Amino acid sequence: MSLIILLGLSAALHLYIGLRIVPALDSPWGAVLFALLLALSALLVPAGMFARRIARGRLADTVAAVGLFFMGLFSSLLVATLLRDLALLLATLLQALAPGAWPLAPLARWSARAAVLAAGAVTLLGLWNARRIARVVTVDVPVKGLPAALRGFTIVQISDVHVGPTIRQRYVEGIVEAVNRLQPDVVAITGDLVDGSVAELGGHVAPLAQLAARDGSFFVTGNHEYYSGAGPWIAELSRLGIRVLHNEHVVIQRSGAKLVLAGVPDYSGGHFDEAHRSDPLAALAGAPADAGVKVLLAHQPRSAPAAQRAGFDLQLSGHTHGGQFLPWNFFVRLQQPFTAGLHRLEQLWVYVSRGTGYWGPPKRFGAPSEITRLRLMPSV
């Protein structure tokens, strides 16, 4: 989409909000200030998305950060305005059935104020939720026939960090410190680590070299790696000491018990490069038949049916962000089979992380970020 088209679309949607809200605000100064805010937002939202095309260096980062904040505010304003219009429509219908029961003028005034205040509050709270380091979520995964030596085997998963305009080195350092405090057996990074090139972001990703896990740190590509240059990022992560699993596996042993940890490229990887077509079955090729548990790292939950057919016990995914902020978490299921948390697909467990960072607007509301500590436990 070109900048001109995006500017036009942004202007039209902001105009809709303005026409519906501004006339109903009973404070003249409030109406003027809100109209000016909408005009500014209509320009900043497209500018934030095209920041790296219209500016360079720190200026581009600043434009992107401000524009993405306004994108989050605009999203909530649009949803609040639509909900207000639905409420007013319902009130109009009730008024027709029972004249005088639902006076529309006061409802229009207070609902306009409520829409603006609610959108602002959700955006500010969402900013605070997004910018703090993700909380640790502990999940016990019951595995049938799990060898005693693998009981309590711990995988710490981080996903969808989206290092980019607003997530930088200090944020990544905070994640690494939190992960290392958990003393995991394995660290699994399930894609969408970056939004930009190695040249731009290599220094901000560098703290991942300090990840400490008994059996190593592992990575699989997400769709955003393909937008950012998957090849250079695979090389860079390998240089940092993180093993990239590309339709392949490793075998981890504990007192003779074997755990197979496999990984596949993103579900859409084959659209960018045929050599990156996701293949869970190929990832298991040559794996020991007596493995006590088989774990697959796959960025998108959509890989689950193929993982189930291949014979995996557990799949770790991300991609969805849990919707990131209301109401978009209700729409994720239109594109993915699972939104967040632990799910069962026949004999396969699927855990979907809500993500450790965020994409686009620095905003999380109703879908908190997470660092996930998964412990393998014998099923009862």
Domains of the chain: 3-131 (no CATH), 135-378 (3.60.21.10)
Residue linked to tokens 């008994």:
214
* Share above pLDDT 90 across residues of the chain, in percent, rounded to a whole number: 78
pLDDT for residue 58: 78
Question: CA-CA distances (angstroms) from residue 357 to 152, 157, 354, 360?
Answer: 27, 12, 9, 10
Taking residues 294-314, report their average pLDDT: 97
Look at residue 7 and tell me whether its pLDDT is greater than 90.
no
- Where does the pLDDT of residue 121 fall: very low under 50, low under 70, confident under 90, or very high at 90 and above? very high
Taking residues 230-238, report their average pLDDT: 96
Look at residue 64 and tell me whether its pLDDT is greater than 90.
no
Question: CA-CA distances (angstroms) from residue 50 to 6, 12, 13?
Answer: 10, 18, 18
Taking residues 252-281, report their average pLDDT: 95
pLDDT for residue 154: 98
- Where does the pLDDT of residue 142 fall: very low under 50, low under 70, confident under 90, or very high at 90 and above? very high
| Selection from 6-15, 60-69, 241-250 with the highest mean pLDDT | 241-250
Instruction: For the chain, state the CA radius of gyration.
Output: 24
Mean of all residue pLDDT scores within the chain:
93
Higher pLDDT, 24 or 380: 24
171-196 pLDDT, tens digit each: 999 999 999 999 999 999 999 999 99
Q: 8-12, 327-331, 354-358: lowest mean pLDDT where?
A: 327-331
- Which tokens hold the place of 171? 């944020």
Taking residues 350-373, report their average pLDDT: 95
pLDDT for residue 91: 85
Q: 90-104, 134-148, 344-358, 360-374: lowest mean pLDDT where?
A: 90-104
Cβ-Cβ contacts under 8 Å for 219 (sequence gap 6 or more): 189, 191, 193, 237, 242, 243, 244, 245, 263, 297
Number of DSSP helices (H) and strands (E) in the chain, helices first: 12, 12
What DSSP string describes 44-65? HHHHHHTHHHH--HHHHHHHHH
Look at residue 100 and tell me whether its pLDDT is greater than 80.
no
Whether cis (ω within 30° of 0) applies to the bond prior to 378 is no
Taking residues 359-364, report their average pLDDT: 92
- Where does the pLDDT of residue 50 fall: very low under 50, low under 70, confident under 90, or very high at 90 and above? confident
Q: 73-82, 159-168, 328-337, 367-376: lowest mean pLDDT where?
A: 328-337
Higher pLDDT, 325 or 243: 243
Reported as type and span, the H/E element at residue 109 is helix 104-131
- Where does the pLDDT of residue 370 fall: very low under 50, low under 70, confident under 90, or very high at 90 and above? very high
Higher pLDDT, 105 or 159: 159
pLDDT for residue 102: 67
- Where does the pLDDT of residue 230 fall: very low under 50, low under 70, confident under 90, or very high at 90 and above? very high
